[in-house]
Structure 1
Amino acid sequence: MSFEFTPQEQTRVQLAHLGGVQLDPIGHADLAVIAVLSSVYFVNFAAVAFLVWNRNYPPLKSKYPFLMAAIMISMFIYFLGDLVLKAHVHVRGRVLSNCMLFCVWMRVIFGAYMVSVLTTIRSYALFCIFLCNRAFRGKYACCAAAIATVLAIVFVVVTYTMPGAQTVRYVPLIEMCSMSYAYRAVVQGLLWLVWIINAAINFKLRNITSSFNESREMFVACAAVFTLLAFNTVILYTHPLYPTNMALRITETLCSHVIANFLWWFIMFRSMYNCAIRRDAYLAEWKDKLVRDGLQKQYQIARTDPFSVTVVSVASSNVAKLVSLPRGMVTDHDGFDARTSFSRHSMVSDRMPHMKHADDGLWRPESARQHTNPAFLFSPHSPHPVEQSSSTSTVNDSTAPLTRYDFPFPPKSA
């Protein structure tokens, strides 16, 4: 594929001019865009491999590594569809001239829509964990996947029931794919719908008090994407043949993929950088934040989430094996504890004894029972440093024998 102004390309420009279309030829600027974005995605896939390899590192695990990897793959598919729709390459031959494949399936369904819906599902997962205090699995995960699938099926049905001239078609004269006004409205409407749902979910998450910036990350994502959607919608209707203009097609492509990559790295960069550069130190800081905010329960709420169960190490007085304790031994109300809820409105003061669990005092270290103020096992005010206990209610090999903690065991039922 040539990016020079060949006789064939000159003929294409002249034919477009005869048809009343001012066509900028495909040139080195398009090649530069392809080279730059291809290099970016090469680095991105290396980062995805690093992410998947270190998926059990708690700060990365809390970011849903497989979901973020799927988002990156969808972004790359979206990029491939953009190259054809925006005529950065010569749209010739049986494969590249298949506009339905590149513009509908790759750019829209497995590209823009998939990125949008996976990001929305991630927001919904945070909603389930931090506001509903329920694991994002079972009926919650199935319901989210079902809604996303139904929307995609409806879009596909609408696409294939509309007349061919009203969707996407190939224009041999100028060797480009053309999308009708009606179909542009369908595509943009689908994306706007998904991101409005995402914004509504994140509006519900606005009061969470996490030190890990979940609400801020998604607020930035929504703001940036709404700006991009508005820009794309304006371009689609004010310059319907924008791929024929080199400046517009390059600007539109760069804006779309720079914003998409910025959002992904805005969510992942800090955890991935620290995992690579200062793994142990950052993990200690991360756990310390978790404990200070009282969020260890939210981050261990489900087996599919960063931490699934409350775990302590027991073997007489020596640390030897792990056993799982039911959540009911630590919290009441079927695992819900309002004192560790993620919402400011659900925070319960220690002065409200009717909300305290009857066994709270049993979970203090023996040395802490002598203090007047409550000091839970994993409280930052505990006389034992955070480094000696895990933020996931895990007492690991670095701790002293467990005799000082006087762990209660549930009484046998009569």
Structure 2
Amino acid sequence: MGNSVSFADPQIEQARVTAAATLLQKHLDPRGPADAILIIVLTTVYAVTSTAVVYMLFHRNYPPIRCKSPLLLAAIVVCSMVWLVGDLQSNGHVQLQGTALENCKAFGLWMRIVLGVLTVSALWAVRAYGVLRVFRSSKPFSGRGMYVLLCLFFVHFAVFGIVTQALGPSKTMSYVRPLDVCNLSPKVLTVSLTTIWVIWAGVVVLSWMARNIKTSFSETRETVFGCIVVFAILTCVTATMYAAPYYPFSVRLRVMSTVVDHVATNSYLWLVMAKPVFNCMFCREQYLDRWMATLIEDGLELQYDVDCGGRDNTTTVCPTEDGHSQPGCSTPDPCPAYSAEPLTAPAGNAISWPTLHISHPPPPLPAKAPARARFW
């Protein structure tokens, strides 16, 4: 395959190899086919994932899709793609020299860290908290507590980004021209990784609190699976960044670092949305009937914000003229039927009021139901 799929300039790459050997006595693997293939594969993966999320948004009123919070998943996908751009720049997969990618703070700090990995982690934490609200407290998914949590994340990330932007490049992230890479300060790295660990530790706590909650479609198991995958990746990435601070110089380490981040992110997304999207495409009504039947059996219609009335798979039976029953006729008028004797003018001045014969008693007033989920 050679360098035919490489996006790098051979002269710049040779200069980088020489500079690394001269200045740092380190071996540097030049950018080549492995980096180009990585870019193509991950771009294709995100194109497929984005198409599925756009499909979810167009069909967000389909109950099995609505309960997966399609707007929140769309936000996660957008932030993950921003994170990918930052990873490609910071991990040394693309040429920086002579391009806008030389701005290490814009791509490495804001896109990779603040708007990327931190925001993606925060959105997954918000979803885990929302599941706990809906199924444990019978509260709406989008309530005051959710907005308070989002505001706390937003303020923390904004302060982090503004402070790092105000500090000098040598204290945060700087561009090293001879090596054509961005150098991240150890202090910023420590703060970033600590924040990520704290967020996912919070997700673990929420998952533990939700361990005995009854759901119909494995929401708590999805969160547990996500925590296992993320903690495995966090351990791997943290060890790599501290044990091999020059990992962008190694083609194996930089490819591994980027791949595990984004394969894990997309795996978690597809775990959540694959089943409703597939069934909405290929067996929409049949799956909806089975889905609602499961809700009725579990008694969780209100938690999933679904009205199962009219989908109880019963057959309307109406009497025929000979007194027998005939299935499949039209549904009778839901209003109570009554008959009344006509008003007559009897002898004298007294008025005889009609007698009402109620054939169906009025239904009892329903009990106060818990708040519906109102998923995003």
**TM-score higher than 0.5 here?**
yes
Is 1:89 equivalent to 2:94 in the alignment?
yes
1:102 to 79, 101, 107: 107
Matched residue, 1:227 = 232
Q: Verify: 1:31 aligned to 2:36, yes or no.
A: yes
Normalised by the size of structure 2, how large is the TM-score? 0.81
What secondary structure does 2:276 align onto? helix
Instruction: Describe the superposition over 1:144-179 as per-residue Cα deviations: whole angstroms up to 9, x where unpaired.
Output: 221111221232244235443121111001000111
Letter in 1 for 2:173: V
Matches within 5 A, 1:162-241: 162-241=167-246
CA contact (8 A) 1:116 1:191 kept: yes
Mapped to 1, the partners of 2:362 and 2:275 lie a distance apart of 36
Other-structure match for 1:3: 7
2: distance between equivalents of 1:400 and 1:14? Answer: 86
1:11-410 to 2 correspondence within 5 Å?
Answer: 11-19=15-23, 20-160=25-165, 162-300=167-305, 307=306, 386-388=312-314, 402=334, 408=363, 410=365
Q: How far, CA to CA, are the matches of 2:362 and 2:183 in structure 1?
A: 69
201-210 or 229-238, which moves further after superposition? Answer: 201-210
For the pair shown, the structure with the greater C-alpha radius of gyration is 2
**Helix, strand or coil: the match of 1:266?**
helix
Change (3 A) 1:4 1:128: closer
What CA distance in whole angstroms lies between the structure 1 residues aligned with 2:106 and 2:70? 28
Q: Which has the higher contact order (CA 8 A, sep 6+)?
A: 2
Describe the shift of the 1:289–1:410 C-alpha distance in structure 2 as closer, same or farther (beyond 3 A): closer
For 2:309 and 2:289, the matched residues in 1 are separated by 18
How far apart, CA to CA, are the structure 1 residues paired with 2:265 and 2:331?
Answer: 43
Structure 1 residues 238 and 77: alpha-carbon distance in aligned structure 2, compared to 1, 3 A threshold: same
Q: Relative to structure 1, is the Cα distance of residues 398 and 31 closer, same or farther in structure 2, using a 3 angstrom cutoff? A: farther
Once the two structures are overlaid, the 10-residue window that deviates more, 263-272 or 16-25, is 16-25
Once residues 313 and 335 of structure 2 are traced to their aligned partners in structure 1, the CA distance between those partners, rounded to angstroms, is 18
Range with greater deviation from structure 2 (201-210 or 55-64): 201-210
C-alpha deviation, 1:27, in angstroms: 0.2
| Offset of residue 4 of structure 1 | 5.6
Distance of 1:238 and 1:268 partners within structure 2: 36
Q: Distance in 1 between matches of 2:201 and 2:284?
A: 37
Deviation of residue 204 (structure 1)? Answer: 0.8
Aligned equivalents of 2:139, 2:362: Cα separation in 1? 26
**Separation in structure 2 between the aligned mates of residue 260 and residue 278 of structure 1, nearest angstrom:** 27
What displacement does 1:133 show? 1.0
Q: Do the aligned partners of 1:5 and 1:27 also contact (CA within 8 Å) in 2?
A: no
CA distance in 2: counterparts of 1:161 and 1:5, whole angstroms: 33
Normalised TM-score (structure 1): 0.74
Tell me, yes or no, if the aligned pair for 1:23 and 1:244 is still in contact at 8 Å: yes
